[in-house]
Amino acid sequence: MEPNYWSRRRLSRRAAIRGGAMGAFGLAGAALIGCGSDDDPTPAPGGGGSSPTATATRDQAAENQAAEQAGILTPRVDTSGQAKAGGILPSSRTSDAESFDALGGTSFTSQFIARYAYPMLFEFIPGVVDAPTGAVQGQIVEDYEQADPTTLLLHLRRDVKWDEREPTSSRPLDAEDVVFSWNKFESASISRRSLANVQNPAAPIQSMTALDDHTVEVKTAFPYGPLLQALAYTRWLQIMPRESDGGFDPRADMRGAGPWMLTRYEPSVRYEFRKNPNYWKAGRPFLDGIDAPIISEYAQRLAQFRSENIYGGVVSQEDVVATKKDIPELDVFRGEFGTANYKLYFGLREGSPFRDERVRRAVSMLIDRDLIIETFNNTKEFEDEGWPVESRWHGIGIAAGYDAYWLDPQGTELGEGAAAFAYDPDEAESLLTAAGISGPLELPFSYIATPHYGTVFPRVGEAYRGMLQETGLLKLNLRQPDYQTEYLTGFYFGKGDFEGIAWGATTTFPVPVQHLNDYYHSAGARQKVAFGGDPTTVEGQVESDALIERAIQSLDFEETVSLVKDWQRQNALRMPDIPSPWPGAVPAFGLYWPWVKNIGTFRDYLEMPEQTAVTEWWLDR
């Protein structure tokens, strides 16, 4: 057998896997690229993701309170009443945006930057003190009505004006801007197949029509439950002015109607955003602007933070305790559980052992989830220092951050399927024997070695490989495909048409039912569970598809939640793929200089630091 983390060092399992983690930490300065991740690997003050109807458990609340009393966590207090307007927030970014075109750009980084300036129809409501719930409210939409299950009428605010600079020159935003944006999205966006029915029959929106200057009619091809969340999702339909078609180059500049105006951008050097005087929310933002130098090197970001040139959001988890000890006056906030859902998934060609659910379940039972969590989240160091650490196991298809939908694999709600998550090599061996497999099952184990999913990702892959081989039941031959030419086409979009097991990341969606539709429905664009998209190739897939269809078409939130929970129960034993406990199983800690007020209080949903909640931040210095 090839040497791995276990065999080559002859260390204890815990020590051995930690060796992998520390190696990864040593590379923390390298750039993170790809998978639509934002360029900043550190959590937002509110956390790197949250959940619809997120509620901290009572234990967690008590633990937080104790930590606050012990002076570790900073109490979250709304100080808006004492806010002083003015000041520039020194922030940072880790890479250039490829373009500022929110709808025609070919990278999600474009949309993240564009969101500083461009508005959306709806927005996720930031949490105030408590975690955000994932609920949405109108942003430039003042009011809306569901005329029938496939028709949504949007009434736009009348006080929204575009940027005062030419060519928009403070023109009021109107329904034609929305229609223009939709048409551009439909024809040019890299995400159009997720939303535009004309591009993909499985996508919901058929059309957007201006009924008058301030009313837009949205027609969907079928009832679509998460429509409002979809219209609040940064990666999809941002609203751009008609003048972006010829009046200015939207790739190089922005003319928005949101809280910020891009006033300077020097590639590889810095962004400067200044308060938009036309912003419709009275008295907001408090800050006059945000300066964001582009610092790709972690050591430099950390040094700038320690030297008070950046006010927060840069310290990696392995440096949090040491930095806080060294600079006790720093504020500490703990984020939320993650909504990313990384997976181990299976080749499902004819003859693959993974068409048998017992084999998939056996693989799941060879994974020691707590060990992975401890190793790759540095939890022991936090616990030794008395910091409040809580961990969860991600469920099938539903990351632990989606509280309302998530069934705890360690709890009772998942039923007998919970057994498939337990680390139980003996039971795994029994399952393999029952499936007719005797002796080691020899297979390829594939993941990318390049840092497209961050520098820790390949280390986790190596740890999985070592862990799965530890009992001798599996013999995994390492394959490290090229990301662009082999991994994406052959594995990620391969619809099960590969051999062995693959380890990979997935895209985060604003609501988990969209994730289920994309990754677990046999017709989903990114599905990995039904060979070639044929639901009959894998037992239980037809039933799974039906549940997902009902969930995504339901306009009743409670019903959707109930259907998603049913789906998890149905699929826990089937184990169509194996949810990885890394990343997102442990809320991350963030460090901030104490003069940035409200930074831990207003907490953005999903991946949107410094865009909605930041309008509430203010400087007391």
Partner 1 sequence: MGRYILRRAVFGLVTIWLVTVIVFVGLRVVVPIVYGDVVDLMVAEYAAGDSALEEQLRSEFGLDRHVALQYTDWLADLARGDLGESLINGRPIMNEMQRRVPVSIELGLIGLASAVFLAVPMGAVAALLQDRWPDWVLRVYAIASNSVPSFWIAILIITFGSLWFRWAPPIEYAHLVDDPIKHFKIILLPALLIGLTPSGGLLRIMRTQMLEVLRQDYIRTARAKGLTERTVLLRHAMRNSLVPIVTLIGLTLPGLIAGSVLFEAIFVLPGMGLYLVRSTQQLDYPVIQATNLIFAMLIVLANLVVDVSYTFLDPRIRYR
Joined together, the tokens standing for residue 617 give 């931040």
| Cα 166 to Cα 172: distance, rounded to the nearest angstrom | 13
| Cα 249 to Cα 176: distance, rounded to the nearest angstrom | 19
Give least dist CB 486 to partner 1, A: 10
**Residue reference for tokens 């520390």:** 22
In the complex with partner 1, which residue's Cβ is closer, 200 or 215? Answer: 200
Phi, psi dihedral angles at 509 (to 5 degrees): -110, 160
Q: Does 98 bind partner 1 (CB under 8 A)?
A: yes
Element spanning 289, H or E: strand 289-293
615: number of CA atoms within 13 Å, CB side?
A: 23
**Spatial CA neighbour of 502 closest among 362, 343, 620, 349:** 343
Element spanning 433, H or E: helix 425-434
Q: Does 29 bind partner 1 (CB under 8 A)?
A: yes
Give least dist CB 295 to partner 1, A: 6
User: Between residue 253 and residue 272, which ones bind partner 1 under the rule CB under 8 A?
Assistant: 266-270
Give least dist CB 429 to partner 1, A: 38
Q: Does 480 bind partner 1 (CB under 8 A)?
A: no
Q: Kindly give the pairing relationship between strand 343-346 and strand 578-579.
A: antiparallel
- The window from 27-35, 44-52, 152-160, 171-179 that contacts partner 1 (CB under 8 A) reads 27-35
Q: Which residues pair with 210 in a beta bridge?
A: 216
CA of 190: how far to CAs of 104, 237, 379, in Å?
A: 7, 11, 38
Residue 458: helix, strand or coil by DSSP?
helix
Measured in Å, how far apart are the chain's first and last C-alpha atoms? Answer: 60
- The window from 11-19, 28-36, 534-542, 574-582 that contacts partner 1 (CB under 8 A) reads 28-36
Q: Does 573 bind partner 1 (CB under 8 A)?
A: no
In the complex with partner 1, which residue's Cβ is closer, 219 or 270? Answer: 270
Give least dist CB 264 to partner 1, A: 11
In the complex with partner 1, which residue's Cβ is closer, 147 or 299? Answer: 299
- The window from 113-121, 204-212, 352-360, 486-494 that contacts partner 1 (CB under 8 A) reads 486-494
- The window from 30-38, 58-66, 139-147, 221-229 that contacts partner 1 (CB under 8 A) reads 30-38
Q: Does 449 bind partner 1 (CB under 8 A)?
A: no
Indicate which single residue of 143, 326, 383, 620 sits in contact with partner 1 (rule: CB under 8 A): 326
C-beta atoms surrounding 427 within 10 Å: 16
| Cα 428 to Cα 473: distance, rounded to the nearest angstrom | 9
| Cα 27 to Cα 250: distance, rounded to the nearest angstrom | 36
In the complex with partner 1, which residue's Cβ is closer, 36 or 540? Answer: 36
**Spatial CA neighbour of 260 closest among 156, 177, 163, 158:** 163
Indicate which single residue of 1, 61, 66, 188 sits in contact with partner 1 (rule: CB under 8 A): 188
- The window from 78-86, 98-106, 582-590, 611-619 that contacts partner 1 (CB under 8 A) reads 98-106
Q: Does 274 bind partner 1 (CB under 8 A)?
A: no
Q: Does 106 bind partner 1 (CB under 8 A)?
A: yes
Exposure string for 377-401, b = 16+ CB within 10 A, e = fewer: bbbeebeeeebbbbbbbbbbbbbbb
| Cα 235 to Cα 231: distance, rounded to the nearest angstrom | 10
Q: Kindly give the pairing relationship between strand 501-504 and strand 441-446.
A: parallel
Give least dist CB 351 to partner 1, A: 26
Give least dist CB 546 to partner 1, A: 25
Give least dist CB 240 to partner 1, A: 15
CB-based contacts of 408: which residues, under 8 Å, 6+ apart?
392, 393, 395, 414
Indicate which single residue of 192, 255, 334, 343 sits in contact with partner 1 (rule: CB under 8 A): 192
**Residue reference for tokens 């008609």:** 242
Q: Does 245 bind partner 1 (CB under 8 A)?
A: no
Q: Position 488: which residue type? A: L
- The window from 56-64, 76-84, 302-310, 613-621 that contacts partner 1 (CB under 8 A) reads 302-310
Give least dist CB 562 to partner 1, A: 31
In the complex with partner 1, which residue's Cβ is closer, 190 or 422? Answer: 190
Q: Does 34 bind partner 1 (CB under 8 A)?
A: yes
In the complex with partner 1, which residue's Cβ is closer, 104 or 259? Answer: 104
Phi, psi dihedral angles at 540 (to 5 degrees): 90, -5
Indicate which single residue of 294, 348, 367, 407 sits in contact with partner 1 (rule: CB under 8 A): 294
In the complex with partner 1, which residue's Cβ is closer, 412 or 485? Answer: 485
Q: Does 114 bind partner 1 (CB under 8 A)?
A: no
Give least dist CB 321 to partner 1, A: 15
| Cα 466 to Cα 503: distance, rounded to the nearest angstrom | 13
| Cα 205 to Cα 225: distance, rounded to the nearest angstrom | 12
Indicate which single residue of 5, 108, 387, 405 sits in contact with partner 1 (rule: CB under 8 A): 108
Tell me which residues touch partner 1 (CB under 8 A): 29, 33-36, 96-99, 106, 108, 188, 190-193, 199, 249, 251-252, 266-270, 293-297, 299-300, 302-304, 306-309, 326, 484-485, 488-489, 493, 525
